[in-house]
Structure 1
């Protein structure tokens, strides 16, 4: 391999007769005067005599051709492999044309590839095109992972990509971007597995009910996360302790159940009292709504007329008291608040507390919170605010040299992040997430945001994501957003729509450059991995097997005898079919070859196959 053509301090061209260059391949240029600069292949090209293409455009120009001929290449006969190489560091002068080029040893580029020890970082995958370096790797960096590749599962044969989680103190927050089928959710699963290995407390909001780690991958990995995570569902295992809410918290929660008008906000501020339970608040709202419907005159008339029981009199006295306090509030707004409170309670939000989440965080576990998207939006506002507040109080007390109750640092992970912190409009959790994005690193609270649509994510938060994992992305607006927020080159931007599932560009201030990696095999698997069409086949086969089991004792059976067996067939099959439906099912089973259909002069007969 040799340098050819015009060189600059930033880029050079490398040619070879035998070696086909690969994207992101690393090379060392043997130029002693420049201390053997290192670079990465950013564009490749191969030429041979069977492809009569002009060289006036693209990677090979006249200067490159002349150089190739001067150093012994036969343009008309040889296969020539060319690569554009971008240097990692600017050279003080242009590289010498004709200089030899070789693959590096690991020690020469270790500082560019590995920033953390395997036991202290997240082992997420393998750096692409580093198999040339594998035989020079130290033992501690080998056999760390398995990769799904073209030929199935293989062992690691390149440099492992180890994300330095400790460096998030300086360069906080992670973004995971990628379209449907790009491997984004798979990559997020691998990150969460690594966080569990390191016992880092993590809060995960899972709108797709897929972040369960009990099922091992089919190939088996030996890793078990059984005691390292806990899954809770809103309304069943966790909820909001209404009595701990401030008036502002109640506003935020109810606004997520349906947008609030200024009049509704005024109702909450007027009616809500400190330490209100759900029951006391909802009763007050319901009683006020009923009193406003009756009107002051009717209530006064009921109280003054007499002839009521003690309970009824007490009720109308309560109505009168509420009208004296809140009679100016509009009925429509009070009804709106009543509906929103009832909706959240029906979802189970006020029937539990967050003790299970706090216990998981204290234990260094991954806590997965599952629920409908709108309910997660409501609940995330409360739980993130509560946990972040506890962490802040502890850190602030420590800085002031006061005694405070320890609360551990933690990560907040969300899939479909644009639903939690959207651009252009408000959302329940948006304000607290923006605060964490801007100030969280001071308190040891960090974000991992995954989304298919980075364009729809709040720009303040996007700008604070110092590390971005970019999977295959097709939409032009999203690619443009990614290019604006990362140091992806023009060539890498063009590759984004064509990345294989599981391939990802990592643009990180921690690494100092963009790297191309392939995500490792996950040790666990999502419950949604079954192909829906396989599921359909499975259910059809199961139905046919059960039906055949019911019919078999009655075979051989003439079509005219279905009526006499109808009651027993329906009872055993747990169906409510008529004769015509059973005949259709018998016909279907015969078409599938599970039973035989014979036509006789007297009847159609169904027999065992």
Structure 2
């Protein structure tokens, strides 16, 4: 391998007859006038006698052709492999034409790729185009993971990609970008598995109900697997965790109510007037309902009449309270707005959100576990606002107390917040319930040890302030031009790498990180656990249909042959076995069994009949 053509201090062209170059491959240039230079392949082509050397232009020009001839290459007669190389660091002088080029030994590039010990970081995958360094690599870095390639599992050959998570203290927050089917969710799962390995407390907002790590990957050998059973917990909003109503302030209550529908300024005014500090759900609702009943009666006189005609002491007290509320708030609080607040409040209550608190989450954080919060997007958006505020300020209060040397301050650990569909939690251009706390953590969380990992298919729709704070970005396959534009603005991905984004294989990613100092192409490793949603929906449909047919066949197989006049009796038999259908449905099922060659269908003078094949 040799340098050819005109060179600069930043780029050179290289040629060889030995083998093709790989994109992103690292090479060593041995220049006689300065120290060895490391470079990365960013463009490569191969030519033979049947391909004109000027077919593409750009890579091959007259200077390169002259160099090839002078260096002894038989231009037009033999296969040549050419590459453009970008130096990783600017050279002092332009590289000499004719300088020898070779593959690096692992120790020469170790500092480029390995930023921390394997057990101290996140082992996320294999750095692409580093397979040639396998022989010179240290033994403890070999055979650490498996890669999924073209429908087969292969063991690691290249340099492992180990993310130094401790450096997030200087360069906080991670963004994971990629379109549908790009491997974004798969990459998120691998990152979470590695976080669990290090026992770092983590809160995962899971609107897709997929972050369950109970099931081990059946395709991996036992030595590559890890049991995560005791390292994570799953909580469902309204079932396992919720909001302690007494801890809410007016603003938090308003944000919660938006989960049931937008609240108007008039509704906000109702809450400002009716809500009292330390209210319980029942005391607040009772006050609202009493005011609503007074407004339905319509006047102080009618309320007074109700109070006087009531025989029960309780009833008299009730209408006395209604009268007081009516006189104080009727003008301030329109009836429609009062009813709107009641409807939104009771809807949340019926979903169980006020029946629990966040104590289980706090306990799990102190145990160093990964906590998965599940619920539909609407509930998670609003619940996360309350939850993240509480957790973040608990950590912040502890750090502030420690700084002020306050004695007996209760320790609250640092933690990571992870969410998919991040553009719904911190959207660009409009407010959402959780946007303010996400922005605050993005800007201030580093000082207190609170970090974000935000995944989204649409980085363009993510708030720009938040995007700018993501110092590490995993960029998977992305097709939309607007999203690619955003990624180019927010990372050091160059134009050539950006062109490749729409064509990346699922599971391939560019890692652009201030921690690493450059963009690295990575193939994400196989996950050690599987999502509960991995079954192909069409396979699921076939299993259901097959199971339905087999169930009916097993119930009635002793009754064959079955005549047309016996179908009513067959329906009764099926009903006794919890299968309900009518005559037409039964005939359809029997005809499907005929199509599957399990039954035959014949006709005689009494009508048609069904019988088992080869009975």
Q: TM range, normalised to the smaller chain?
A: over 0.9
Q: Are the structure 2 counterparts of residues 543 and 22 from structure 1 closer, same or farther at C-alpha, using a change threshold of 3 Å?
A: same
Q: Does 1:364 align with 2:368?
A: yes
Secondary structure, counterpart of 1:33 in structure 2: coil
Secondary structure, counterpart of 2:573 in structure 1: helix
Secondary structure, counterpart of 2:147 in structure 1: strand
Paired residue for 2:26?
26
Alpha-carbon shift at residue 181 of structure 1 (Å): 0.3
- The TM-score, its normalising length taken from structure 1, stands at 0.97
Q: What is the rounded CA distance, in whole Å, between the counterparts of 1:382 and 1:453 in structure 2? A: 25
Alpha-carbon shift at residue 602 of structure 1 (Å): 4.9
Alpha-carbon shift at residue 151 of structure 1 (Å): 5.9
1:324-343 matches, within 5 Å, as 324-328=327-331, 329-343=333-347
**Alpha carbons 1:56, 1:62 under 8 Å: kept:** no
2:261 to 239, 258, 268: 258
The count of aligned residue pairs is: 608
Secondary structure, counterpart of 1:380 in structure 2: helix
Please, which runs of 5 or more residues in structure 2 have no aligned partner?
none
Alpha-carbon shift at residue 85 of structure 1 (Å): 0.7
Q: What is the rounded CA distance, in whole Å, between the counterparts of 2:586 and 2:260 in structure 1? A: 48
**Per-residue deviation, residues 206-262 of structure 1 (Å, max 9, x unmatched):** 000000001111213331100000000000000000001112211221233322222
Alpha-carbon shift at residue 482 of structure 1 (Å): 0.5
2:225 to 222, 235, 241: 222
Alpha-carbon shift at residue 25 of structure 1 (Å): 0.3
Secondary structure, counterpart of 1:593 in structure 2: coil
**Per-residue deviation, residues 314-354 of structure 1 (Å, max 9, x unmatched):** 11101111123222221122122111111211221101001
Please, which runs of 5 or more residues in structure 1 have no aligned partner?
none
Alpha-carbon shift at residue 293 of structure 1 (Å): 2.2
Q: Does 1:355 align with 2:359?
A: yes
Secondary structure, counterpart of 1:342 in structure 2: helix
Paired residue for 1:101?
101
**Alpha carbons 1:204, 1:369 under 8 Å: kept:** yes
**Alpha carbons 1:127, 1:515 under 8 Å: kept:** yes
Paired residue for 2:500?
495
Q: What is the rounded CA distance, in whole Å, between the counterparts of 2:291 and 2:186 in structure 1? A: 51
Paired residue for 2:391?
387
1:446 to 451, 465, 468: 451
**Alpha carbons 2:275, 2:284 under 8 Å: kept:** yes
Secondary structure, counterpart of 1:119 in structure 2: helix
Paired residue for 1:154?
154
Q: Are the structure 2 counterparts of residues 395 and 537 from structure 1 closer, same or farther at C-alpha, using a change threshold of 3 Å?
A: same
1:157-168 matches, within 5 Å, as 157-168=157-168
Q: What is the rounded CA distance, in whole Å, between the counterparts of 2:360 and 2:199 in structure 1? A: 17
**Alpha carbons 1:55, 1:62 under 8 Å: kept:** no
Alpha-carbon shift at residue 298 of structure 1 (Å): 3.6
Q: Are the structure 2 counterparts of residues 251 and 577 from structure 1 closer, same or farther at C-alpha, using a change threshold of 3 Å?
A: closer
Q: Are the structure 2 counterparts of residues 431 and 82 from structure 1 closer, same or farther at C-alpha, using a change threshold of 3 Å?
A: same
**Per-residue deviation, residues 41-78 of structure 1 (Å, max 9, x unmatched):** 01111111122363462311111111111101111111
Measured on the aligned residues, the alpha-carbon RMSD in Å equals 1.4
Q: Does 1:271 align with 2:267?
A: no
**Per-residue deviation, residues 392-413 of structure 1 (Å, max 9, x unmatched):** 0000001111121100000000
Paired residue for 2:290?
287
Paired residue for 2:463?
458
Q: What is the rounded CA distance, in whole Å, between the counterparts of 1:151 and 1:249 in structure 2? A: 49
Paired residue for 1:520?
525
**Alpha carbons 1:13, 1:83 under 8 Å: kept:** yes
Alpha-carbon shift at residue 302 of structure 1 (Å): 1.6
**Per-residue deviation, residues 105-163 of structure 1 (Å, max 9, x unmatched):** 11111111110111100000000000111111112211211111126111110100000
Paired residue for 1:344?
348
Q: Does 1:608 align with 2:609?
A: no
Secondary structure, counterpart of 1:263 in structure 2: helix
Secondary structure, counterpart of 2:119 in structure 1: coil
Paired residue for 1:17?
17
Q: What is the rounded CA distance, in whole Å, between the counterparts of 2:547 and 2:386 in structure 1? A: 45
2:582 to 578, 583, 589: 578
Alpha-carbon shift at residue 9 of structure 1 (Å): 0.6
Secondary structure, counterpart of 2:39 in structure 1: strand
Paired residue for 1:549?
554
Paired residue for 1:206?
206
Q: Does 1:510 align with 2:515?
A: yes
1:427 to 420, 432, 436: 432
Q: What is the rounded CA distance, in whole Å, between the counterparts of 2:602 and 2:429 in structure 1? A: 69
Secondary structure, counterpart of 1:345 in structure 2: helix
Q: Does 1:563 align with 2:581?
A: no
Q: What is the rounded CA distance, in whole Å, between the counterparts of 2:575 and 2:304 in structure 1? A: 64
Alpha-carbon shift at residue 557 of structure 1 (Å): 1.8
Q: What is the rounded CA distance, in whole Å, between the counterparts of 1:382 and 1:132 in structure 2? A: 51
Q: What is the rounded CA distance, in whole Å, between the counterparts of 2:56 and 2:566 in structure 1? A: 84
Secondary structure, counterpart of 2:118 in structure 1: coil
Paired residue for 1:591?
595
Q: What is the rounded CA distance, in whole Å, between the counterparts of 1:88 and 1:585 in structure 2? A: 68
Alpha-carbon shift at residue 571 of structure 1 (Å): 2.4
1:417 to 394, 417, 422: 422
Secondary structure, counterpart of 2:83 in structure 1: strand
**Alpha carbons 1:25, 1:41 under 8 Å: kept:** yes
Q: What is the rounded CA distance, in whole Å, between the counterparts of 2:9 and 2:293 in structure 1? A: 80
Alpha-carbon shift at residue 301 of structure 1 (Å): 3.4
Q: What is the rounded CA distance, in whole Å, between the counterparts of 1:107 and 1:464 in structure 2? A: 33
